[in-house]
Chains A and B, each alone.
Chain A
């Protein structure tokens, strides 16, 4: 289908500015929307604020991408709608936070290297805890209800209640402050000499989040497009039966993807904990909304769509949050509604739903 479209696109190169613009809008809706949003925002605020908000929006998008990518893959490959994903995010945040509190002497040193001795175990622990819980969750809760969306929604909502309550049992019902490692606090000042954007203060943590998000996006794209496992995953999304016929144990693949998705949710949760510096068990529920908007925007099951969707959500959150703070959540959902009206399948649809 898509290959066919591309062929048409190549053979009939559109003539004229308007036609080319229309073709661009139809073929690359994600980039079109991204540029449109950035341009509109640039018109409504001064450039220095715009740069600051754009970087922050990218950082938020990167973290939301980490959380959303797992869910979109589980949906795309396994056709499982895991509404307990938010609980995994919370769990990762709490696991990461407890390691950071435990290693707080390392975290409060000003040196980056010593800080890393606290950050890496924290992120690693969040990854492992969420991944292990994902393993248990898939075996106990989701396996019996493969192929039945209604039951999946019900049991994962139930599972999410149980995980949230267990978080309450282990960590107590109160909010927990998270110490952000010393080397990650503070900001870079752009040199004054630069035109327009000189003197803008960029928070270090946000830049690191952007870099990490891009790195993981790159890694995932590489795995999915270049490795054998990736081929199997893509084939599984396309047609599950055909992969099974070839003799691959698709169950094992499912399990692996589910565990990886949960682990990524945990990682995203831990990053979010350091970003916000305060966490509650219900933070997962709130982030879940962004995650859902992202996966609908991007088209269920698409990693690339998920990345662009996350960036769009991060940007609109920050832009609208600056212009009218009360409408940030409404604008996020409004973006989703608008895109659904324009393209009911999402920006970059992978599977037919």
Chain B
């Protein structure tokens, strides 16, 4: 059964499996493990961006198409819902109209982009998408009477998905892991720490929305895993390795590449819809910005291109860093003397500098990202074992 669910594409590393299970458990039970608004919204963002990054990986990692328009499709989804609830009120009907409109627009635009630039050369695609995404951003910013301009739009999501809706009257107990661990260290008594760590969660519509997002995210991830391990996915990888040869074998590479671009655009649009509903506020900065596009690229590469598990790991690591590395750097800088070069370099606003450095270094030294590196280590360990006990390795292979 496991084989069916994961489409035969296992993590192939014990450390990676453990990491994935950890992330999965944290996301599945998140609202009951981490108290606080900030942690809750971060969990939601991780679920949304797993879809975005995994669909980006379909282009970047599996087909080697570099697109800078992924945020454009993300933004189309988010603005589609925001504008349609703005115009037709906060019912589910309005949400579905928004989704439909956004999907149609995404498919048309991605088809146009694919046909326009993929027939020339893949590298053109990076440049053309960069320019088109910028034009879209400027259009959204300028047409403020329907998009709200720089100020953005508040999303009037259906009542059932908002904080006012309470499915259960009673409160549900939660257990704060962080507080528990901290309590064990500071108080020494496990029982006391356990008591302190228990908190209460009032389940409301936002939790409902979170779990919808979580389930869709899991579903999309498994769908993409199925897709890249299907014959279609194999052709994409063949194009990545040697386009000329794939063509010579009789595959219409332009068709396959355009299809990959469209699928990934549609999924990004879906993620945008979920983002709008879970964040309930949409503006150019949080959906369309060029910086966001670079972040998606970073998540994809740091996690590991061409491995969908990398999207999960990369997203989790990056968003954790984005939210909490600044606190850590702030701690560092409080020890340094103010005004010195060191203080400037490690200031909380400079977290991106360190991430950029990490990114460039990881492209050179770990081109397959966290996931690729873990798999490599696991592979080497297996080889070492195989050298010692050849019989065991034979068994493993069977």
Contact = CB atoms under 8 A, between A and B. Distances in A.
Given A153-B66, A157-B297, A333-B135, A169 B128 contact: no
Which bracket fits the contact residues of B? 35 or more
Contacts of B301: 154
Contact of B356 (A150, A161, A173): A161
Contacts of A173: 349
Contact of A332 (B122, B126, B135, B360): B135
Interface string B109-136: 0000000110111111011101110110
A14 interface: no
Interface stretch (B16-24, B98-106, B138-146): B138-146
A121 interface: no
6 contacts: A141-B360, A149-B122, A154-B359, A157-B297, A158-B359, A159-B356
B255 to A, nearest CB: 18
Contacts, number: 106
Contacts of A327: 139, 142
Contacts of B135: 329-330, 332-334
B346 to A, nearest CB: 10
Contacts of B297: 154, 157
Interface in A258-305: 285, 288-289, 292-293, 295-296
B293 to A, nearest CB: 9
Interface residues of A, number: 42
A159 B130 CA distance: 17
A271 to B, nearest CB: 22
A345 B143 contact: no
Interface of A: 81, 141, 144-145, 149-151, 153-155, 157-159, 161-162, 165-166, 168-169, 173, 285, 288-289, 292-293, 295-296, 326-330, 332-334, 336-337, 340-341, 344-345, 353
B134 A158 contact: no
Interface of A is mostly: helix
A295 B127 CA distance: 10
A151 B301 CA distance: 10
A293 B66 contact: no
Contact of A169 (B123, B126, B353): B353
B64 to A, nearest CB: 5
Contact of A159 (B121, B290, B360): B360
B331 interface: no
B132 A337 contact: yes
Nearest to B143: A326
B344 interface: yes
A157 B143 CA distance: 29
Interface string B347-362: 0011011011101100
A168 B344 CA distance: 9
Contacts of B367: 151
Given A153-B126, A289-B130, A296-B128, A162 B357 contact: yes
Contact of A150 (B64, B117, B131): B64
B294 interface: yes
A166 B359 contact: no
B126 A340 contact: no
In the A-B complex, the 8 residue pairs with the closest CB atoms: A161-B356, A333-B135, A165-B353, A329-B138, A326-B142, A158-B360, A158-B359, A162-B356
